[in-house]
Chain A
């Protein structure tokens, strides 16, 4: 298990990300005609941040759907979307971020551009990473729920003022083909493009800045990493504390100490590069996340 394994595993992940993004956004007619899919599969949410106004989208965005239900005058809570989060979170946690999210894929590709110095995190990372929980609490839950018009209808604040996925996958493809929409784009589109451009530039230098600092979906799934049925384990009988896992981790996480950190997107690079095979991932594991012992016991 070495660098070559890490590269091989990286290619596999990229392939899965691309295939999943293509399959779940496969309504080609939508891109050609500037309209969106209206079939029944849109009753179901996709696991990643996949805008349902993307012309190709075959499913719904879970964050957009949560805001739609909360901002509706009929409901104060969404059993359907919270249930969806519980199921996906309980099964795989943030594996979704690493393998199935189309906006994560975009940031991964941008970070591969060989331009300038690459950084794993921003200065002030310790407190900046809490921003995503603020985005979830304020823009996704509280404002859609409580800032309502005279008939009790709220707005999807996160989608409207922050979501770069909507601008990239929904806004641009639709505006390029649909002249009517182009004519009504104003200051809000300019604002959202400013956010998108800033994130694109930042993603070239910093690994997944949107996921690390702003994504409300990542915030939700992060709560499940420790309890999900699919988890990482470190076997201390094999671990030699070399720290290669942390060095290779794109998020600079000390995997050998905290294998199921809420920040981990489960890309699997640490497993692939571990020289002793001490890091494993299992579905429905029978052991704790840290399997105690010392390398001496192997002798």
Chain B
């Protein structure tokens, strides 16, 4: 129990993170990320 109490906030953040990832995938955010990442981002490389 001591170990869990000592790591309560870390475990909570991990659990919420997993829920958020699931929600993000469910909302289709992954496609937005992928769509941005597979084409050359002119702003990112400094072309504008």
Residue of B nearest to A38 (CB): B38
Measured CA separation A166–B42 after assembly (Å): 10
Say whether A156 contacts B21, CB under 8 Å. no
Say whether B14 contacts A83, CB under 8 Å. no
Residue of B nearest to A166 (CB): B44
Measured CA separation A191–B27 after assembly (Å): 36
How close is A224's CB to chain B, nearest CB, in angstroms? 7
Say whether B41 contacts A53, CB under 8 Å. yes
Give the one of B21, B27, B37, B40 with max A CB within 10 A.
B37
With A42-B34, A43-B34, A286-B6: A79-B29 Cβ-Cβ less than 8 Å: yes
Say whether B38 contacts A42, CB under 8 Å. yes
Report the tally of A-B residue pairs with Cβ distances under 8 A: 178
8 Å CB interface, B1-48 against A: 2-3, 6-7, 9-11, 13-14, 16-25, 27-41, 43-48
How close is B48's CB to chain A, nearest CB, in angstroms? 4
Is A296 part of the contact surface with B, judged by Cβ < 8 Å? no
Say whether A74 contacts B32, CB under 8 Å. yes
For chain A, give the interface size range.
Answer: 35 or more
Say whether B14 contacts A229, CB under 8 Å. yes
Is A276 part of the contact surface with B, judged by Cβ < 8 Å? no
How close is A180's CB to chain B, nearest CB, in angstroms? 10
With A53-B45, A189-B47: A86-B16 Cβ-Cβ less than 8 Å: yes
Question: CB < 8 Å: which of B2, B10, B23, B32 contacts A83?
Answer: B23
With A171-B45, A192-B46: A87-B14 Cβ-Cβ less than 8 Å: yes
Measured CA separation A40–B40 after assembly (Å): 15
8 Å CB interface, A47-81 against B: 51-53, 57, 59-61, 64-65, 68-69, 72, 74-75, 78-81
8 Å CB interface, A163-187 against B: 163, 166-167, 170-171, 174-175, 181, 184-186
Say whether B21 contacts A87, CB under 8 Å. yes
How close is B1's CB to chain A, nearest CB, in angstroms? 10
Contact surface of B with A, Cβ cutoff 8 Å: 2-3, 6-7, 9-11, 13-14, 16-25, 27-41, 43-48
